[in-house]
Amino acid sequence: MDALEALHTRRSCRRFTAKEVPHDLLEKVVDAGRLAATARNEQPCEFVVVLEKEARRDIAALTDHGAFIADATVCIAVLAKDTKYYIEDGSAATQNILVAAHALGLGGCWVAGDKKPYAPKVVERVGAPAGMHLVALVALGWPLGGLPNPPKRPLHEVLHWETF
């Protein structure tokens, strides 16, 4: 799948089969996150791939809208060092992870991290050092059933030339 097709067809997936995701695919997905643009090339992101079911259940229980993490076969915690643009850098990495996962046939869904009251607890649960920010949690796995296809605003409604 080429990049533009992946961007056009990626959708959030919250239902997963129990089939395990091979480590080589997870490495490709995380590598896509690692390659995301970062401000001043600071590269502040770190990634914790959580495969253990009990750990995913614990993380899911901490969130306010991520119960489906417990049923995913993988959860990736996208963390960032405390830099000036950590949220932008971590968000770019998260989007790369989602698009790469989709291109490889996986389903994924972004669960908010930064500024959520549960973020420090997730950081602690995944064993990250103090001072790290949880930018996002990404539930991943093989999709179970079809994915929703909510309408997107048409380009002509959001594209402005020269001025708004």
For 35-82, write each residue's pLDDT tens digit: 999 999 999 999 999 999 999 999 999 999 999 999 999 999 999 999
Q: What is the pLDDT of residue 60?
A: 98
Q: Please check whether residue 141 is in contact with residue 72, taking contact to mean a CB–CB distance below 8 angstroms.
A: yes
Q: What is the pLDDT of residue 24?
A: 98
DSSP-derived 3-state class of residue 149: coil
Q: Which CATH number fits domain 3-144: 3.30.930.10, 3.90.650.10, 3.40.1190.10, 3.40.109.10?
A: 3.40.109.10
Token representation of residue 16: 């997963």
Q: Please check whether residue 68 is in contact with residue 60, taking contact to mean a CB–CB distance below 8 angstroms.
A: yes
CA distances from 21 to 8, 93, 101, 160, 164 (A): 23, 20, 11, 41, 44
Q: What is the pLDDT of residue 148?
A: 86
CA pair distance 75, 49, nearest whole angstrom? 6
- How many helical (H) and strand (E) elements, i.e. helices and strands, does the chain have? 6, 4
* pLDDT tens for the chain, residues 1 to 164: 899 999 999 999 999 999 999 999 999 999 999 999 999 999 999 999 999 999 999 999 999 999 999 999 999 999 999 999 999 999 999 999 999 999 999 999 999 999 999 999 999 999 999 999 999 999 999 999 998 889 999 999 999 999 99
CA pair distance 78, 47, nearest whole angstrom? 5
pTM: 0.96
CA pair distance 2, 135, nearest whole angstrom? 27
